[in-house]
Amino acid sequence: MVNDAARGITAFARWKSDTWELVPDHELPDGRRLVPLSARNNLVEHGVVKFASKPEEYGSERELAGSVRSFIHRYVNLSPRYERVATAYVLLSWISDTFNELPYLRVRGEPGTGKTRFLLTVGSLCYKPIFASGASTVSPIFRILDLVKGTLVFDESDFRFSDEKAEIVKILNNGNVRGFPVLRTETVPGSKEFNPRAYHVFGPKLIATRGFFDDAALESRFLTEEMDSLRLREDIPISLPKEHEVEALRLRNKLLLFRFRNYAKPRDLTANLDRSLEPRLAQIFAPLLAITDDEETLGDLRELARSYHREIATDRGFGMEADVLAVLTELWHTSAETPTVHQIAAQLSARGPATYANVSAKRIGWILRRKLGLATLRGREGYVVPKPSQDRIDRLTERYGSDVTGNAEGGSSRSSPSSQETMQPGAAA
């Protein structure tokens, strides 16, 4: 759908045989006729959803990406790396419905750090942006996303109540993977019956928050810029000028032609992917890496992915699982005997912080079996933990952030916690 606001006309832009045309409607093979929203539709008239007006030529894709980045740089204060990430994300949003998983963009900071400017500027370039900031309730967002299937742009701080934020979390949890609509029960008009209804919420999302979400899995879907750490550049206008909207429209027109030319292109999601990444990180970075051919941007994306991977490993390193693994790998390396669960519990109690005092062997056995996936076998000295393959050890130490490396003979060496100060309390014990 396109919208010529100056003339008050909406239409469809249709692509066929490498050319485009504007049509008032479109007939589907099954006989149904599609019509665009009216130019007087409330969502269109008030700019809640922004469209292109017609496709426009953009030259090469490198030139288009340069124009998008220049626009972002002119109005928003971002780090150079995140400017490139945001540029790639804008391009991704215009063909996002060709992928099965998507990341989200987020800026985080206190009031006055430029979060709203980011949403207005980067959001205005994305595919059919839906500006939900200031919404009185969350309920319309489900319906607008289902109707428009565009890019959700919203400020989480506008939703002040816990029930509103819980609804937003539902959209975010279900919205980055295709095939997981949000289910809601609604009253059938003219009756007292309640029917379930599925709402499509999959698509790109730009979010501004002041803090973190409680769900660690949800946090892993964001590519985040910390706005508090940035010093405002003097060349950025305090207020957005009138030409901001005009420039954004022209870029949306060029991006519409980019969509037409790139929608059906096959893309290899594995070509630029780092296989050492956490599976969820690899999943959300794959679409961005697949559409990017600029080496500098690819380097930024890979480094960003690796930094997130290190953060996840560090966070996991604070848990009891990592400390149990650290003690166990040291015992495997230093003792000819197969370590027992009681030995692990005793060493953890002796060397760990107060929270590990008198930790039971039963607790350690549960962590070994359920958390680390290691077998425990009954022996003469009690339950023992046989050493698995070095590949299995390497995967565990990479996942939980323990500093363990294998040698050529299949043994292992580590920088073990030799004092109470080097042990970390179990955040998830």
Q: State the average pLDDT over residues 325-338.
A: 90
Percent of the chain with pLDDT over 70: 88
**N- to C-terminal Cα distance for the chain?**
52
Per-residue burial over 347-356, b = 16 or more CB atoms within 10 Å of its CB, e = otherwise: bbeebbeeeb
Is residue 343 predicted with pLDDT exceeding 50?
yes
User: What pLDDT does 24 receive?
Assistant: 96
Report DSSP state, residue 127.
Answer: S
230 versus 349: the higher-pLDDT residue is 349
The residues, ordered by sequence, that sit 6+ positions from 297 with a Cβ below 8 Å of its Cβ are: 84, 85, 87, 88
More confidently predicted of 223 and 161? 223
* Cβ proximity of 1 and 37 under 8 Å: yes
Give long-range contacts, CB 8 A cutoff, 24+ apart: 264-271: 267/98, 267/291
The total of other beta-carbon atoms located within 10 Å of residue 34's CB is 11
- pLDDT mean over 133-146: 79
CA 243 to chain CA centroid, Å, is 31
Instruction: Give the C-alpha separation, 342 to 320, whole Å.
Output: 16
- pLDDT at res. 418: 35
Return the SS3 of 402: coil
Q: For the residues 47-76, what does the mean pLDDT come to?
A: 96
Any bridge partners for residue 196, and if so which?
Answer: 185
pLDDT digits (tens, 9 = 90+) for 390-406: 888 888 877 775 544 43
Tell me what the mean pLDDT of segment 164-184 comes to.
Answer: 86
Using alpha carbons, list the distances in angstroms from residue 330 to 250, 263, 333, 339, 418.
62, 53, 5, 10, 11
SS3 label, residue 208: strand
Contact 300, 409 (CB under 8 A): no
- For the stretch 256-279, pLDDT in tens is 999 999 999 998 888 888 777 777
* Residue 365: other Cβ atoms inside 10 A: 19
The highest-confidence range among 157-171, 229-243, 348-362, by mean pLDDT, is 229-243
What single-letter DSSP state applies at residue 355?
G
Top pLDDT among 313 and 176 is at 176
The C-alpha atoms of residue 415 and residue 217 are separated, in whole angstroms, by: 29
Q: Which residues contact 239 (CB under 8 A, 6 or more apart)?
A: none
* Residue in the structure block whose two tokens are 């991977």: 309
Q: What is the pLDDT of residue 277?
A: 76
Domain ranges of the chain: 47-314, 318-422
Helix (H) or strand (E) holding 361: helix 361-366
Given a cut of 50, whether residue 421 has pLDDT beyond it is: no
CA distance 206 to 123: 7
Structure tokens that stand for 130 in this block? 């839906």
pTM, entire model: 0.76
Is the CB of residue 303 less than 8 Å from the CB of residue 283? no
223: phi then psi, degrees, rounded to nearest 5: -105, 110
pLDDT band at 415 (very low <50, low <70, confident <90, very high): very low
* Length reported for the chain: 429
State the pLDDT at residue 162: 56
Question: DSSP letters of 40-107?
Answer: TSHHHHTTSB---SS-----SHHHHHHHHHHHHHHH----HHHHHHHHHHHHHHTTGGG-SB--EEEE
Tokens of 66: 């340069």
- Average pLDDT in the chain: 85
Q: Is the pLDDT of residue 408 over 50?
A: no
Angle at 328 between CA 326 and CA 332, to 5 degrees: 120
Tell me how far apart the alpha carbons of residues 427 and 328 are, in angstroms, rounded to a whole number.
19
Q: Which range (84-98, 169-183, 295-309) has the least confidence? A: 295-309
Per-residue pLDDT at 416: 38
pLDDT, mean of residues 66-87? 95
How big is the chain by its Cα radius of gyration, in Å? 26
Per-residue confidence (pLDDT) for residue 1, from 0 to 100: 97
The better pLDDT of the pair 414, 379 is held by 379
Q: Three-state SS across 144-180?
A: HHHHHCCEEEEEHHHCCCHHHHHHHHHHHHHCCECCC
Is the pLDDT at 328 greater than 50, yes or no?
Answer: yes
State mean pLDDT over 228-233. 80
pLDDT at 29 over 80: yes
**pLDDT tens string 80-136:** 999 999 999 999 999 999 999 999 999 998 888 899 999 999 999 999 999 986 555
Whole-angstrom distance, CA of residue 209 vs CA of residue 399: 28
Residue 335 pLDDT level (bands cut at 50, 70, 90): confident
Looking at domain 47-314, what is its CATH homologous superfamily? P-loop containing nucleotide triphosphate hydrolases (3.40.50.300)
The pLDDT of 286-293, averaged and rounded, is 90
Cα gap 368→385, rounded to integer Å: 9
Identify the CATH number of the domain defined by range 318-422: 1.10.10
Q: Decide if pLDDT at 189 tops 90.
A: no
More confident residue, 161 or 354: 354
Q: What pLDDT score was predicted for residue 322?
A: 81
